[in-house]
Structure 1
Amino acid sequence: MSVLDRFNLTGRRALITGGSRGLGLEMARALSEAGAEVIITGTNEENLRRACESMTLDASCSVTAIQADLSKPEEAERLCDVVLKEHAPIDILINNVGGRRINTPTEDLALEDWQRIIDLNLTQAFILTKCLGGAMIPRKWGRIINIASINALWPGKAMRGRSYEASKGALAMFTKAVAADWAVHGITVNAIAPGPFLTDANRRWIGEKPEFEGEVASSIPMGRWGRPEEIGPLALYLASEASSFMTGSVLVLDGGKLLW
Structure 2
Amino acid sequence: MPISPHCPLISAIKKSNEIMTTFADKISRGPCAGRLQDKVALVTGAGGGQGQIVSLLFAEAGAKVCASDINPATLEQTRALAEQRGLKIDFAMVDASSPEQVNGWIDRVMQKHGRIDVLYNNGAGVHMAPFDQMTFEQWKETIRLELDVIYLPTKAVWPIMSEQKSGSIINIASCAGMLAAEGLGTTAHAAGKGGVIALTRQLSLEGAPHWIRVNCISPGPIMGPALQRPYDESPYFRKLFDSTPSLDRHGYPLDIAYAGLFLASDESTFITGVNLPIDGGATSKVGAMMGRS
What TM-score, normalized to structure 2? 0.80
Instruction: Specify the alignment match of 2:106 in structure 1.
Output: 84
Q: What do residues 31-64 of structure 1 show as CA deviations (whole Å, max 9, x unaligned)?
A: 11110011111122121112012112233x2201
Note the C-alpha offset of 1:246.
0.2
Instruction: Specify the alignment match of 2:249 in structure 1.
Output: 224
Instruction: Specify the alignment match of 1:96 in structure 2.
Output: 122
Q: Identity of aligned pairs, percent?
A: 29
Q: How many corresponding residue pairs? A: 251
Note the C-alpha offset of 1:6.
11
**1:66 alignment partner, SS class:** strand
Q: What do residues 48-91 of structure 1 show as CA deviations (whole Å, max 9, x unaligned)?
A: 112012112233x2201111333xx3x2x123222232111322
The answer as to whether partners of 2:94 and 2:105 remain within 8 angstroms in 1 is no
User: After TM superposition, what 4+ stretches of structure 1 lie above 3 angstroms from structure 2?
Assistant: 4-7
**1:180 alignment partner, SS class:** helix
Instruction: Specify the alignment match of 2:55 in structure 1.
Output: 28
Task: Name the CA shift for 1:48/1:134 in 2 (closer, same or farther; >3 Å).
Answer: same
What TM-score, normalized to structure 1? 0.90
Point out which structure has higher relative CO (alpha carbons under 8 A, 6+ apart): 1
Q: What do residues 176-225 of structure 1 show as CA deviations (whole Å, max 9, x unaligned)?
A: 00000011101100000000111111102224424412222123211221
Q: Which runs of 5+ in 1 are unaligned?
A: none
For 2:167 and 2:157, the matched residues in 1 are separated by 10
Query: How does 1:66-215 map onto structure 2 within 5 Å?
Result: 66-70=92-96, 73=97, 75=98, 77-88=99-110, 89-103=115-129, 105-160=130-185, 162-215=187-240
For 1:212 and 1:109, the matched residues in 2 are separated by 21
The answer as to whether partners of 2:197 and 2:216 remain within 8 angstroms in 1 is yes
For 1:150 and 1:220, the matched residues in 2 are separated by 12
The answer as to whether partners of 2:117 and 2:161 remain within 8 angstroms in 1 is yes
The answer as to whether partners of 2:118 and 2:168 remain within 8 angstroms in 1 is yes
For 1:235 and 1:102, the matched residues in 2 are separated by 26
The answer as to whether partners of 2:43 and 2:120 remain within 8 angstroms in 1 is yes
The answer as to whether partners of 1:192 and 1:253 remain within 8 angstroms in 2 is yes
